[in-house]
Structure 1
Amino acid sequence: MADLYRNPEQVKGYASYRPNYPSELFNFIYSKTTSRRQLAWDVATGSGQAAISLSSLFDAVVATDSSPEQISQAPTHPPNVRSLVTPPS
């Protein structure tokens, strides 16, 4: 999976065809956190849809993916989202 989405065409297709998650999902996640809602981690962020949604609920969001191509093609994030490329292992 770590080598998936290295091709620029795959990255564009991923961002175009990946479904958005319903706001109820993020509200559920938020309801399960403690009163200190300072940080959320979006693992395998891909094109960042979840990170953007989480950014309205948490003080900060770290969005990680092993694909530098995915991170570089992600839309502009709110200022409280930090995107990082992580090793696949």
Structure 2
Amino acid sequence: MKSSSPNSNRPRRAMMGIRWVPPEDDWVKINSDGAVKGVEQRAFANGVILDKHGNWIKGYCRNIGKKKRKKLPAAGAANCKAFCR
């Protein structure tokens, strides 16, 4: 008998573990993110630099001006690169 539930034809989701993978010796890991707020499209970029033990080295949160959502990843990456110098 078929179910009348609207979700009955959806494929089941697979469970998968997600974990932080530390960087190799003499390397750091950079985790970054960004957001666009409101109709005025004010954009913010933030991130952290972690050592191989997950210890915080440095972090940032910056207003990067007006950006469209689709351009935010590139703007955030450029901001992160400048921050790391």
**TM-score normalized by structure 2?**
0.23
Bigger Rg over Cα: 2
Higher RCO by CA contacts (8 Å cutoff, separation 6 or greater): 1
Normalised by the length of structure 1, the TM-score is 0.22
Which of the pair is proportionally richer in helix? Answer: 1
Higher strand content, 1 or 2: 2
